[in-house]
Amino acid sequence: MSSRDSDDRARAKLLSDALRAVRKIRPAKTEALADALGLSVRGYQNFEAGGGALSVKHVMNFGAAIDCDPLGVAAAVQIGQPQFAAWVAHNKAMLAFAMTLEEFVEETGDAIAHLDTTELVSCYRAMFKDLSAKALQAKSAKDDWLARLGRTGRGDEPFEPDGSADPRDPDDEPS
Over residues 103-119, the mean pLDDT reads: 97
Which of 91, 108, 136 marks a domain boundary? 91
Looking at the structure, tell me whether residues 59 and 111 fall in a common domain: no
Domain-located, residue 168: no
* Total domains present in the chain: 2
Indicate whether 168 pLDDT > 60: no
Looking at the structure, tell me whether residues 87 and 107 fall in a common domain: no
pLDDT band at 159 (very low <50, low <70, confident <90, very high): low
Domain-located, residue 171: no
Looking at the structure, tell me whether residues 83 and 148 fall in a common domain: no
Looking at the structure, tell me whether residues 7 and 53 fall in a common domain: yes
Looking at the structure, tell me whether residues 45 and 101 fall in a common domain: no
Domain-located, residue 100: yes
Looking at the structure, tell me whether residues 38 and 24 fall in a common domain: yes
Which of 91, 80, 65 is CA-nearest to residue 18? Answer: 80
- CB-CB contact of 163 with 172 (8 Å): no
Looking at the structure, tell me whether residues 107 and 34 fall in a common domain: no
Looking at the structure, tell me whether residues 86 and 19 fall in a common domain: yes
pLDDT band at 172 (very low <50, low <70, confident <90, very high): very low
Looking at the structure, tell me whether residues 11 and 66 fall in a common domain: yes
Over residues 85-105, the mean pLDDT reads: 97
Looking at the structure, tell me whether residues 20 and 45 fall in a common domain: yes
- CB-CB contact of 27 with 68 (8 Å): no
Domain-located, residue 123: yes
Distance CA 138, CA 173 (A): 25
Per the model's pLDDT, the better-predicted residue between 110 and 154 turns out to be 110
CATH number at residue 16: 1.10.260.40
Indicate whether 13 pLDDT > 70: yes
Looking at the structure, tell me whether residues 83 and 116 fall in a common domain: no
Domain-located, residue 61: yes
Q: Which CA distances in Å does 147 have to 5, 54, 152, 158, 168? A: 48, 42, 9, 13, 21
Instruction: Please state the pTM of the whole predicted model.
Output: 0.80
**Residue 33 structural domain:** 3-91
